[in-house]
């Protein structure tokens, strides 16, 4: 079972944010799209062609909550770049789901951008994997999943 089979969001559905945007703008985007993660892109956005599109980080709901917890509501005026996660773990569409689940569990995160040749092509989340397993997986696949992701 690979990422291509379970991937939840195509490139058109992945939401991005500029590193200079405020946390308030990013929080509104997360809430408005009912999502938990934005991909931070420099150079014109990850969803565009041309020379731009480098993934420079990710920003999760957790990142925003931590910033507000530390600095109060004033944190919402801070740039995304001040609190984003810079060490972005990515996967390819051909990657095995077992390896992706292991990386998510070890890293303590629930979303992983899908890339090809360094370019963003989509997003896979623990929820996407759960949905896929509920509909398509064998009992053995389900047991493997829960043994890996229960700690995420």
Total residues found in the chain within this entry = 152
| φ, ψ (nearest 5 deg) of residue 56 | -110, -10
38 close to 58: Cβ distance less than 8 angstroms: yes
Pick out the chain residues at pLDDT < 50.
48-51, 152
What is the DSSP-derived secondary structure letter of residue 151?
A: T
Residues 6+ apart with CB under 8 A from 22: 76, 77, 78, 79, 80
Euclidean distance between CA atoms 56 and 81, whole angstroms: 9
Instruction: Compute how many other C-beta atoms are within 10 angstroms of the C-beta atom of residue 76.
Output: 17
Domain residue extents for the chain: 3-149
Q: Contact 19/80 with Cβ under 8 angstroms?
A: yes
Instruction: Give the three-state DSSP class for 18.
Output: coil
DSSP for residue 45: -
Protein fold of 3-149: CBS-domain (3.10.580)
Q: Whole-structure pTM over 0.85, yes or no?
A: no
pLDDT tens string 99-130? 888 899 888 889 999 988 878 888 898 888 88
CB atoms within 10 A of CB 149: 18
What is the model's pLDDT at position 74?
92
């Amino acid at each position: 079972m690979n990422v291509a089979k379970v991937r939840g969001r195509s490139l058109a559905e992945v939401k991005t944010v500029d590193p200079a945007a405020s946390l308030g703008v990013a929080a509104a985007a997360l809430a408005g799209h009912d999502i938990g993660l934005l991909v931070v892109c420099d150079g014109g956005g990850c969803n565009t062609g041309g020379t731009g599109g480098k993934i420079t980080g990710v920003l999760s709901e957790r990142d925003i909550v931590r910033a507000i917890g530390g600095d109060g509501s004033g944190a919402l005026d801070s740039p995304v770049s001040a609190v984003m996660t810079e060490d972005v773990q990515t996967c390819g569409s051909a990657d095995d789901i077992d390896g992706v689940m292991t990386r998510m569990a070890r890293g303590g995160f629930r979303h992983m951008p899908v890339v090809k040749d360094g370019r963003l092509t989509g997003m896979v989340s623990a929820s996407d994997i759960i949905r896929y397993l509920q509909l398509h997986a064998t009992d053995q696949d389900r047991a493997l999943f829960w043994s890996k992701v229960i700690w995420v």
